[in-house]
């Protein structure tokens, strides 16, 4: 089992460019999540998907969109990147009651 | 709004010491509390999960306690080793918000040989 995988691992964008972060899990989990982590801060939830076909906003959704493509895949899109979106992005998945399993992260820099 | 605070933000100890990491939360209506470990440049790994009805959980040299009424949890690490060096994060799951977690800022631990 690969667990939770994320691509790319690193990305540098210019202000205004768009990109999609990809996440996939092979644990048959219903729920998937996108977080961002900034220096000295814990993780903050951007969006989550409790089950295939549903998505909901988390604490910091502005500037992002998500797509739950199928049960395995949950993507995060930045339509017009801003320097404030420079961060490390983590995807996670879980059952309804169990702990969350995290991917290795994507380090994004917006110039 | 739930807020989770971890003190201290950073800690450096000599190898072999027993140590305690602290986590506090403002809303006691939680479903569970979890402790995670994060190594530099890596994702998070779950260490211990305490249900709201439990007082503590143990795994090897790690023991986590929960006092829900006072909004506190501690992670006790016995006989610390250099391999324990990492950032430790606590997270709470609210009672009424699905499996969504609110994280503290983390404690960065360095264990010196």
**pLDDT tens, residue by residue, B44-97:** 999 999 999 999 999 999 999 999 999 999 999 999 999 999 999 999 998 876
Average pLDDT (B2-26) is 95
Considering CB atoms only, which of A50, A99, A103 is closest to B46? A99
CB B106 to CB A4 under 8 A? no
Considering CB atoms only, which of B43, B98, B106 is closest to A90? B43
CB A40 to CB B44 under 8 A? no
Counting one residue from chain A and one from chain B, the pairs whose CB atoms sit within 8 A come to 54
Provide the pairing of β-strand A19-25 with A74-78: antiparallel
Please, what is the average pLDDT of chain A?
94
Give the integer Cα–Cα distance in Å for B70 and B95: 16
Q: What pLDDT score does B94 carry?
A: 86
The residue of chain A nearest to residue B37, with distances taken between CA atoms, is A102
**pLDDT tens, residue by residue, A35-66:** 999 987 789 999 999 998 899 999 999 999 99
Average pLDDT (A81-103) is 92
């Amino acid at each position: 089992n690969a667990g939770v995988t994320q691509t790319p691992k690193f990305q540098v964008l210019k202000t205004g460019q768009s990109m999609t972060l990809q996440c996939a899990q092979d644990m048959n989990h219903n729920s998937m999540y996108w977080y961002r982590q900034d220096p000295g801060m814990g993780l903050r939830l951007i969006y989550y998907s409790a089950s295939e076909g549903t998505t909901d906003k988390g604490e910091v959704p502005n500037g992002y969109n998500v797509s739950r493509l199928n049960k395995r895949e949950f993507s995060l899109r930045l339509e017009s990147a801003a320097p404030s979106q420079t961060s490390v992005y983590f995807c996670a998945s879980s059952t309804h009651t169990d702990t969350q399993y995290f991917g290795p992260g994507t380090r994004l820099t917006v110039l | 709004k739930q807020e989770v605070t971890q003190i201290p933000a950073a800690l450096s100890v000599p190898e072999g010491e027993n140590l305690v990491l602290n986590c506090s939360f403002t809303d006691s209506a939680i479903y569970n509390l979890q402790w995670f470990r994060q190594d530099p440049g890596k994702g998070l790994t779950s260490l211990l999960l305490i249900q709201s009805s439990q007082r503590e959980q143990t795994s090897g040299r790690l023991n986590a306690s929960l006092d829900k009424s006072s909004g506190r949890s501690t992670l006790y690490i016995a006989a610390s080793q250099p391999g324990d060096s990492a950032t430790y994060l606590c997270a709470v799951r609210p009672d009424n918000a699905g499996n969504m977690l609110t994280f503290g800022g983390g404690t960065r631990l360095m264990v010196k040989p």
